[in-house]
Amino acid sequence: MPISLETQDFLRLTEGANTLLFVDIEATGLRGDYNSILVVSALPYRNEKAVTMKVGQPGNDRKLVREAKEVLEDHDCWVTYYGKGFDLPMLNTRLLKWGLRPIEKRPHVDLYFTLKSNLLTARRSQAHLLEWLETPETKMTIGADVWNQVLHNFSAAIETLVQRCESDVRGLRGLYEKTKHIIVDIKR
């Protein structure tokens, strides 16, 4: 007989076991067939330092997506911001490209959809919500020049993208802390 846990009890258990994982990616674009992943940051709930994986060169993300898959599958629950719409499909698309199996599903809290259905704010971006809720964390913004550097000065651009990705998972944790009490349902 399957055991059922209330959502808030499940979240407390994963927090206590440090198996709740905040995840974000940076990619060269929005489609996995024409683009690739540059950086993946994963921040376990109790950790101060993110686990960050990056490519050595754009387009060659086979090792990165394999390592990211292992990290995600090593945790019981993921928290993302629009991760069901972008991060996880992009990772799975790139895994498929390299002939690797997709990431095994886990309970997944996508704060974009959770907050969209429970709040009525003028803007839904993670940056806006972090600012509006006055979290200590902010979302690092980067301009078009950094994205264009990926093509001609990769070593400089990748370090900025790593900083941004790590900023995003710390911000995601801050947003989770401010809003976790309204999470009533977790779907895979």
Inside any domain, residue 56: yes
- CATH code assigned at 171: 3.30.420.10
Inside any domain, residue 1: no
Angle between helices 154-179 and 111-118 (to 10 degrees): 40
What is the distance between the terminal CA atoms of the chain, rounded to a whole angstrom? 20
Inside any domain, residue 118: yes
Give the confidence band of 5 by pLDDT, cuts at 50, 70, 90: confident
Domain interval for residue 127: 7-181
- C-alpha span between 176 and 173 (Å, rounded): 5
* Number of domain units in the chain: 1
pTM of the model: 0.95
Strands 20-27 and 77-80: parallel
User: Cβ(83)–Cβ(165) under 8 Å?
Assistant: no
| pLDDT, tens digit, 9 for 90 and up, residues 14-63 | 999 999 999 999 999 999 999 999 999 999 999 999 999 999 999 999 99
Kindly report the average pLDDT of the chain as a whole number.
95
The answer to whether the Cα torsion of 183, 186, 187, 188 is positive or negative is: positive
187 DSSP 8-state letter:
B
Phi and psi, residue 41, nearest 5°: -115, 140
